[in-house]
């Protein structure tokens, strides 16, 4: 490393830059979704902007784009100020897909909001990506990739830790600001300190606002209610989400909370399971009806804490109540208990499981398999109840039709408020329910959602027009950005195989996140552990490649396709039916074996690339395309994505035969001759 003084400093800066890159990406996904109405339903929008920016940052030649590193904090500050001081929104009303919200949005139209957000996100991540690439190219490719992965793991774990601690947004901002001050260098501290200070000040004002707190999923705001029927109103990500009500209001005639008990008069209600316990309204009702044990399952710990401290009936103080901070479907799969009544209590989330998927936190609660699991956990004469303002008659028909199929008879249906708000109650037998009216379809009954196609709010197996328009615009912007930044097509085409590897890996990672969400719950902890596991699997592949100078590529490719075939052939219900230890072992093997093989192939290709940063940049742009291909799951289901992954990997393997360098290219063990960027 005589060509580059201070290799330890380069490694440390690469580690910091990579950690900052992933930390800021995760923070932007969480923070923009919390402050822009409806954007939490489209968090992969920010993810795709991040991929574009990072990819361009790596594709820029060493001697170009230094202004990006000097002015990096400015677009970050502009984004934060824009979102906080000028109301922005993503308006969404569609007959194709349902979005749960009860807010009348105001602010800039989405044709202004979305391009500005996407552009600023790409610019922010392009600057950090450029900083990372400048350090990356000063080390042998596999060593650089190793430290990049260690940095990514550090950033991911750090943000997960802050989520666990429920740190407010100002803490995220302070950490990001400190890291960026180190990365921009001493000469740029003053010009960087001012915008970073503005960003931190805006986040501090947000964090100090009365009633604001953060959970691992939402920004939560609690306010005293002006209504006599409610004590407190709770908003999540700026949208009215729950309200705390006294028992008198919960038991009044027409109350959806009390209806399941009125329609099951022969039921003892001794053991009650409440999924979506939230602030405790349904728990208080169960206790009032004489329950001897209530299992209260709530995915968000902060919502449960708010109820524990503010609910006038103090339901969570009762020794009969057992709180489970868990995903409702995961709880059903993990418990052997049987209940007299299971209540699915308004479990409509306002966010996605991860930034790389279209799966909402509650999606696996509304599949046919979930209703079957609930049916198995009912005691003789027991009943299942669910209620919500469903917004569309076809959604009521979908759920009621699924219950009819699972229970063998039509459920009771009671409308409240209007015809699109309904309580459905299904007893284990017709005698276990007492109805004023049973469900009758209002029209063609949509097919039930399934664990493979967990999209209950999507009317047909199609990609909504709104999604297609936004994704098309993102791809056009990507092509234009590559040209505007001066990245030559010739420089990137020779790494077309790396592009396809990136697209395939992104889809494979998304499929694994979805699989673990089904097997172990849609909680933030499961999600964080999967991402950490993916990074560790990739890091393991790099370490193996660093110790083996020559790999048998045909054998490795054959092993990759074999692991993909096994993952495709084994249905999810077989894994779900295993005991916890067996399920964990099977999930790890099915998920990480193809990731390990794929990244051995990737590491081997990167090791001999003449321009590793260009190869890495092409791979990141491929990840952007992989993120758009994830929307195919809305049509095909998630298992079929493995076929798309196999096609992409097959294309990459074919291209490698033409793009893989010959003897004239350097290996990772030879000196790096690429000119390094000037230090700032």
How far apart, in whole angstroms, are the C-alpha atoms of residue 379 and residue 293? 14
In a domain, 664, yes or no: no
pTM above 0.85, yes or no: yes
Q: Of 460, 502, 483, 439, whose CA–CA distance to 629 is shortest?
A: 502
CATH of the domain at 8: 1.20.1250
Q: Which residues contact 651 (CB under 8 A, 6 or more apart)?
A: 500
User: In 10 A of CB 431, how many CB atoms?
Assistant: 9
Q: Of 45, 142, 37, 49, whose CA–CA distance to 99 is shortest?
A: 37
- The confidence score (pLDDT) of residue 33 equals 83
- Does residue 201 share a domain with residue 250? no
Tell me the mean pLDDT in the region 53-73.
Answer: 85
- Does residue 515 share a domain with residue 391? no
- Does residue 494 share a domain with residue 422? no
Contact indicator for 361, 351 with CB cutoff of 8 Å: yes
In a domain, 498, yes or no: yes
- Does residue 567 share a domain with residue 655? yes
The Cα angle at residue 587 between residues 586 and 590, in degrees rounded to 5: 80
In a domain, 322, yes or no: yes
- The confidence score (pLDDT) of residue 499 equals 93
- Does residue 246 share a domain with residue 130? no
CATH of the domain at 422: 3.40.50.150
- Does residue 421 share a domain with residue 293? yes
User: In 10 A of CB 666, how many CB atoms?
Assistant: 18
Q: What are phi and psi of 53, to 5 degrees?
A: -65, -45
Q: What are phi and psi of 540, to 5 degrees?
A: -60, -40
- Does residue 318 share a domain with residue 253? yes
- Does residue 314 share a domain with residue 422? yes
pLDDT tens by residue, 91-115: 555 566 766 665 555 666 666 777 8
DSSP alpha helix (H) spans, 263-413 = 281-288, 301-310, 328-334, 368-376, 393-407
Domain boundary among 209, 226, 250: 209
Residue 379's domain comprises 240-352+368-427
- Does residue 337 share a domain with residue 280? yes
In a domain, 79, yes or no: yes
Domain boundary among 186, 209, 232: 209
DSSP alpha helix (H) spans, 100-140 = 110-136
- The confidence score (pLDDT) of residue 237 equals 85
How far apart, in whole angstroms, are the C-alpha atoms of residue 642 and residue 562? 12
In terms of average pLDDT, the best of 156-170, 341-355, 538-552, 601-615 is: 156-170
Judge whether residue 677 has pLDDT over 90.
Answer: no
DSSP-derived 3-state class of residue 97? strand
How far apart, in whole angstroms, are the C-alpha atoms of residue 652 and residue 142? 20
- Does residue 171 share a domain with residue 65? yes
In a domain, 77, yes or no: yes
- Does residue 105 share a domain with residue 4? yes
- Does residue 91 share a domain with residue 142? yes
In this prediction, residue 488 has a pLDDT band, given cuts at 50, 70 and 90, of: low
Contact indicator for 250, 281 with CB cutoff of 8 Å: yes
How far apart, in whole angstroms, are the C-alpha atoms of residue 223 and residue 210? 9
Judge whether residue 268 has pLDDT over 80.
Answer: yes
Residues in the chain: 680
Specify the DSSP element, H or E, that contains 224.
Answer: strand 219-224
- Based on the structure, what is the number of domains in the chain? 3
In a domain, 665, yes or no: no
Judge whether residue 426 has pLDDT over 60.
Answer: yes
């Amino acid at each position: 490393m005589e060509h580059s003084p201070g290799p330890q400093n380069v490694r440390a800066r690469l580690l910091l830059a990579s950690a900052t890159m992933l930390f800021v990406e995760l923070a932007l996904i969480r923070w923009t979704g919390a402050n822009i109405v409806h954007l939490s339903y489209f968090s992969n929008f920010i993810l795709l902007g991040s991929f574009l920016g990072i990819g361009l940052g790596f594709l820029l030649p060493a001697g170009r784009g230094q202004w990006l590193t000097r002015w990096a904090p400015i677009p970050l500050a502009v984004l934060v100020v824009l979102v906080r001081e000028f109301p922005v929104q993503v308006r969404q009303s569609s007959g194709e897909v349902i979005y749960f919200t009860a807010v009348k949005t105001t602010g800039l139209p989405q044709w202004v909001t979305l391009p500005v957000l996407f552009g600023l996100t790409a610019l922010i991540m392009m600057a950090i990506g450029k900083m990372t690439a400048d350090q990356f190219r000063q080390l042998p490719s596999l060593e650089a990739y190793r430290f990049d992965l260690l940095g990514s793991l550090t950033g991911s774990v750090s943000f997960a830790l802050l989520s666990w601690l429920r740190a407010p947004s100002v803490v995220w901002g302070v950490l990001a600001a400190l890291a960026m001050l180190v990365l921009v260098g001493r000469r740029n501290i003053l010009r960087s300190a001012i915008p970073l200070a503005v960003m931190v000040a805006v986040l501090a004002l947000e964090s100090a606002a009365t009633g604001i707190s953060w959970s691992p999923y939402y920004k939560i705001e609690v306010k005293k209610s002006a209504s006599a029927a409610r004590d407190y109103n709770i908003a999540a990500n700026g949208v009215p989400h729950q309200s705390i009500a006294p028992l008198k209001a919960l038991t009044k005639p027409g109350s959806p909370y009390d209806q399941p008990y009125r329609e099951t008069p022969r039921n003892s209600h001794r053991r009650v399971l409440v999924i979506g316990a939230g602030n405790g309204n349904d728990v208080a009702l169960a206790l009032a009806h004489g329950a001897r044990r209530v299992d209260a399952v709530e995915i968000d710990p902060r919502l449960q804490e708010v109820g524990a401290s503010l609910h006038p009936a103090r339901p969570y103080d009762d020794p009969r109540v057992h709180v489970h901070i868990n995903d409702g479907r995961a709880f059903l799969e993990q418990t052997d208990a049987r209940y007299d009544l299971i209540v699915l209590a308004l479990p409509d989330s306002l966010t996605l499981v991860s930034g790389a998927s279209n799966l909402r936190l509650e999606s696996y609660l509304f599949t046919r398999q979930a209703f079957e699991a609930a049916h198995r956990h009912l005691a003789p004469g027991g009943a299942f109840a669910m209620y919500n303002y469903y917004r569309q008659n076809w959604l009521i028909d979908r759920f009621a039709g699924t219950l009819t199929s699972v229970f063998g008879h039509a459920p009771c249906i009671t409308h409240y408020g209007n015809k699109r708000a309904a309580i459905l109650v299904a007893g284990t037998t017709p005698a276990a329910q007492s109805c004023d009216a049973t469900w009758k379809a209002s029209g063609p009954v949509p097919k039930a959602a399934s664990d493979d196609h967990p999209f209950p709010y999507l009317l047909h197996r199609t990609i909504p027009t709104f999604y297609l328009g936004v994704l098309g615009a993102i791809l056009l912007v990507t092509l234009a950005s590559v040209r505007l930044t001066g990245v030559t097509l010739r420089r990137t085409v020779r790494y077309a195989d790396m592009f396809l590897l990136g697209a395939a890996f992104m889809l494979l990672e998304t499929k694994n996140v979805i699989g673990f969400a089904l097997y172990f719950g849609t909680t933030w902890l499961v999600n964080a552990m999967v991402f950490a596991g993916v990074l560790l699997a990739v890091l393991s592949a790099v370490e193996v490649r660093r110790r083996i100078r020559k790999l048998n590529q045909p054998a490795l490719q054959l092993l990759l396709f074999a692991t993909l075939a096994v993952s495709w052939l084994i249905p999810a219900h077989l894994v779900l039916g295993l005991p916890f230890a067996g399920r964990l072992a099977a999930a790890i093997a099915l998920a990480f074996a193809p990731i390990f093989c794929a990244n051995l192939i990737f590491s081997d290709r990167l090791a001999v690339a003449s321009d590793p940063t260009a190869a890495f940049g092409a791979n990141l742009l491929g990840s952007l395309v992989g993120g758009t291909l994830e929307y195919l799951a809305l049509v095909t289901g998630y298992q079929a994505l493995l076929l798309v992954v196999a096609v992409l990997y097959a294309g990459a393997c074919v291209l490698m035969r033409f793009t893989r360098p010959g003897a004239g290219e350097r290996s990772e063990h030879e000196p790096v001759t690429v000119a390094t960027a000037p230090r700032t």
